[in-house]
């Protein structure tokens, strides 16, 4: 038995291999269940009791020796000397291609970040909505033209299942299950039945903001708007509020910022007025608070809503709305260096 062990050890010692496949073949030949080392272990049963200790030890040593040898062969194949000498190991690695974020995502992120510095948190709602959340709870009269088939996509001809036309629907969803103080912004996609052109699309993105608490005033709204405009477009930006109408706010206003292309001097972008419109806003109509279960005698609030495409156009001068959804890499790659 000892002789057999020594013979096998000598044989294993002289093994060589030049490919990983050869190493694997050796492993099978010697160390697998039916390999020659394992077979010797089977013979161990017939060894007389007084020799068992000595032979057992020799067998274990053989097995370890064979395992080390075969591992050693495998490692030597992986080692540096085996690397193709024609490869240039000093060459710098090929740069990893960097992706870019979509311009609308960049701007949405920036809007969220500005409002979160004022304590607003993000709320989301479904894109497939019902009449109550998109219109009725927001004080739209039953015959309001926005409910019209021309504006709204209805699903399966059911007037109560529709694609939201604005993210104001998230306001009512949040107010229904939260009591003030409420300070949320709602970014999301909205849909309108419009012919697609450079200036209109059947889907686009909005961010809605809502603040409801005791004693919220128009002054709070104005200060929030000014802060937002200056963070977004730079500290030299001025704002202007024009009276407007929305069913869900009273009073309502539209906000213009001083044209950030010409600095307010007048250019073709601002139609030589020096101002560009960027959002709608107002004090939440008490009817909306009451419809959503918030006591309008105790609480007041302001709301505002803006189009993300509009803000993005102002920041990056994208002239054609269709660019945002065409997945043209030449367009998207221009935003590689943007945040
Ligand atoms: N929902 C309006 C729209 O889609 C935007 C808007 C205007 C939202 C005034 C508001 C607001 O919250 O107060 O045109």
pLDDT digits (tens, 9 = 90+) for 242-259: 999 999 999 999 999 999
Q: Which of these ranges, 5-14, 115-124, 320-329, has the smallest mean pLDDT?
A: 5-14
pLDDT confidence of residue 339: 58
How many whole angstroms from its chain centre is CA 278?
25
Q: Whose CA is nearest to atom 13 of ligand 1?
A: 281
Of the candidates 296, 262, 254, 247, the one whose C-alpha atom is nearest the C-alpha of residue 278 is 254
Tell me, in angstroms, the distance from the centre of ligand 1 to residue 121's CA.
Answer: 18
| Backbone φ, ψ for residue 167 (5° rounding) | -85, 5
Residue to probe by mutation, ligand 1, list 147, 280, 300, most atoms within 8 Å of CB: 280
Query: Is there a cis peptide before residue 181, judged by omega within 30 degrees of 0?
Result: yes
pLDDT digits (tens, 9 = 90+) for 28-51: 999 888 888 888 888 888 888 888
Q: Highest mean pLDDT: which of 64-73, 156-165, 290-299, 323-332?
A: 290-299
Higher pLDDT: 183 or 142? It is 183
Q: Which of these ranges, 115-129, 264-278, 325-339, has the smallest mean pLDDT?
A: 325-339
The span from the first CA to the last CA of the chain, in angstroms, equals 74
Tell me, in angstroms, the distance from the centre of ligand 1 to residue 267's CA.
Answer: 27
Q: Is the pLDDT of residue 81 over 70?
A: no
Of the candidates 202, 161, 169, the one whose C-alpha atom is nearest the C-alpha of residue 186 is 169
Kindly report the average pLDDT of the chain as a whole number.
91
CA dihedral sign of residues 290, 295, 297, 298? negative
Q: Is the pLDDT of residue 209 over 90?
A: yes
pLDDT confidence of residue 157: 79
Ligand 1 touching residue 187 (CB < 6 A):
no
- On whether the CB atoms of residues 23 and 74 are closer than 8 A, the answer is yes
Percent of the chain at pLDDT exceeding 90: 59
Tell me, in angstroms, the distance from the centre of ligand 1 to residue 260's CA.
Answer: 23
DSSP state of 95: P
Rg of the Cα trace of the chain?
37
Q: Is the pLDDT of residue 125 over 90?
A: yes
| Backbone φ, ψ for residue 220 (5° rounding) | -60, -40
Average pLDDT over every residue of 56-61: 89
């Amino acid at each position: 038995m000892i002789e057999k062990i020594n013979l096998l050890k000598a044989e294993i010692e002289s093994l060589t291999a030049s490919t990983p496949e050869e190493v694997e073949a050796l492993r099978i030949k010697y160390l697998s269940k039916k390999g020659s080392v394992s077979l010797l272990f089977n013979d161990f049963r017939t060894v007389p009791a007084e020799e068992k200790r000595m032979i057992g030890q020799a067998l274990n040593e053989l097995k370890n020796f064979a395992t080390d040898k075969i591992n050693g062969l495998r490692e030597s194949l992986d080692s540096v000397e085996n690397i193709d000498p024609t490869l240039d190991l000093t060459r710098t690695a090929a740069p990893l291609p960097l992706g870019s974020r979509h311009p609308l995502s960049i701007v949405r992120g920036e809007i969220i970040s500005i409002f979160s510095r004022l304590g607003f948190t993000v709320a989301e709602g479904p894109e497939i909505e019902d009449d109550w959340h998109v219109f009725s709870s927001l004080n739209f009269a039953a015959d309001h033209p926005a409910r019209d088939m021309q504006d709204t996509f209805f699903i399966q001809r059911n007037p109560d299942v529709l694609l939201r036309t604005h993210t104001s629907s998230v306001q009512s969803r949040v107010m229904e299950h939260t009591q003030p103080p409420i300070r949320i912004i709602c970014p999301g996609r909205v849909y309108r039945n419009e012919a697609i052109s450079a200036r209109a699309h059947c889907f686009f993105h909005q961010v809605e903001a809502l603040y409801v608490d005791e004693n919220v005033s128009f002054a709070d709204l104005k200060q929030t708007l000014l802060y937002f405009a200056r963070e977004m477009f730079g500290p030299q930006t001025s704002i202007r509020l024009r009276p407007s109408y929305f069913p869900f706010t009273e009073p309502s206003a539209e906000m213009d910022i001083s044209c950030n292309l010409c600095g307010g001097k007048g250019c073709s972008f601002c139609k030589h007025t020096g101002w560009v419109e960027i959002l709608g806003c107002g004090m939440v109509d008490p009817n909306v608070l009451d419809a959503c279960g918030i006591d309008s005698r105790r609480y007041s609030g302001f709301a505002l809503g803006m189009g993300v495409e509009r803000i993005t156009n102002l920041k990056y001068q994208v002239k054609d709305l269709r660019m945002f959804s065409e997945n043209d890499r030449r367009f998207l790659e221009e935003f590689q260096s943007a945040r």
